[in-house]
């Protein structure tokens, strides 16, 4: 058997053979996605966008919703994401939806069902981040973050539950955060919402499990998305130093874990939360 040095050479040779495409292409092992419908909330930007693209690369049709962020229109980003998805030759539905509004969510799910079929997969990636010390948080800042990150996910899950139960199949993945496990200054509303999302994940797994529906969560650390624009270079550098891998995850790293949880390889996993944080929390 080869020793440690031989193993290292073998790994290097394998990486050269695989090439850099593994950084952006989903693994060929994610079978069972082609021709099915994936629904992604908050799919125009950030992690949600990358999740939507990776589903499409696997041949899944994609329905994604989006809504304007505080002080920023998402129209252009949504149109760009929609165009990229269409280039992958899958069916696409893009719609502006306020996930805080249960009626709008129900309408979106029904429209996706009519146009694309299913749905078979739901990824709750819609989220906002309005930070500040808790004694300065306004009622609006608290409600916005909790309502989008937590209530919005509940509305989406409740809307797809009848279809998932009737077809006795479905995969739900909620995008939480490591902030749910380790509080930091100025994120009381965000941490509370993401902690609640973990509780929702585990309870939904218990409710929907008898209908053969898997419900899991992914808790990213600091991921290189536009949300980091509000974080100082010093904090990012310190975070990279704390992470045992010495780097920050990319959106595609989170997306590949999501696809794994939606694949049949994860059919016995439910009610779990997987951290994708480069070892930030150890």
Q: Where in the chain are the domains? A: 24-276
pLDDT at 77: 94
Residue 185's pLDDT is what?
86
Q: Could you give the CA distance from residue 202 to residue 215 in angstroms, rounded to a whole number?
A: 7
Q: Which CATH architecture has domain 24-276?
A: 3-Layer(aba) Sandwich (3.40)
Side-chain half-sphere of 101: how many Cα atoms within 13 Å?
Answer: 10
**The tokens 């079978």 sit on which residue?**
31
Cα-Cα-Cα-Cα dihedral of 72, 76, 77, 82, to 10°? 150
- pLDDT at residue 228, as a whole number: 56
Task: Name the pTM for this structure.
Answer: 0.87
Positions annotated as catalytic residues are 190
| One pLDDT digit (tens) per residue for the chain, 282 residues | 334 334 334 333 333 333 333 445 554 567 679 999 999 999 999 999 999 999 999 999 999 999 987 778 899 999 999 999 999 999 999 999 999 999 999 999 999 999 999 999 999 999 998 888 999 999 999 999 999 999 999 999 999 999 999 999 999 999 999 888 987 888 899 999 999 999 999 999 999 999 999 999 999 977 766 665 666 566 667 766 676 877 777 899 999 999 999 999 999 999 999 999 877 776
Pairing verdict, β 121-124 and 37-41: parallel
CA atoms within 13 A on the CB side of 8: 3
Beta strand ranges found along 14-138 (DSSP E): 37-41, 61-66, 92-96, 121-124
Extract the tokens encoding 115. Answer: 């146009």
Q: Give Dmax over CA atoms of the chain in angstroms.
A: 63
């Amino acid at each position: 058997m080869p020793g440690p040095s031989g193993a290292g050479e073998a790994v290097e040779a394998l990486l050269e053979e695989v090439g850099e495409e593994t950084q952006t292409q989903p693994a060929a092992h994610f079978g069972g996605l082609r021709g099915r419908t994936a629904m992604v909330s908050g799919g125009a930007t950030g992690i949600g966008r990358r999740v939507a693209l990776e589903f499409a690369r696997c041949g899944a049709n994609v329905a994604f919703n989006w809504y304007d962020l505080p002080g920023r229109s998402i129209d252009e980003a949504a149109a760009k994401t929609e165009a990229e998805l269409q280039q992958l030759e899958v069916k696409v539905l893009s719609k502006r939806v306020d996930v805080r509004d249960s009626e709008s969510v129900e309408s979106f799910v029904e429209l996706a069902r009519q146009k694309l079929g299913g749905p078979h997969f739901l990824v709750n990636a819609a989220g906002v981040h309005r930070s500040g010390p808790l004694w300065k948080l306004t009622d609006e800042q608290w409600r916005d973050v909790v309502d989008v990150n937590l209530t919005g996910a509940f509305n989406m899950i409740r809307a797809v539950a009848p279809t998932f139960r009737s077809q006795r199949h479905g995969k739900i993945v909620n995008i939480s955060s490591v902030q749910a496990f380790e509080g930091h200054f100025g994120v009381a509303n965000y941490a509370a919402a993401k902690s609640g999302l973990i509780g929702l994940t585990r309870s939904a797994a218990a409710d929907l499990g008898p209908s053969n529906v898997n419900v899991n969560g992914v808790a990213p650390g600091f991921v290189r998305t536009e949300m980091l624009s509000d974080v100082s270079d010093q904090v990012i550098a310190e975070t990279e130093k704390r992470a045992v891998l010495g780097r920050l995850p990319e959106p595609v790293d989170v997306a590949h874990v999501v696809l794994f949880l939606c694949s049949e390889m994860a059919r016995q996993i439910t009610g779990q939360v997987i951290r994708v944080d480069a070892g930030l929390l150890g």
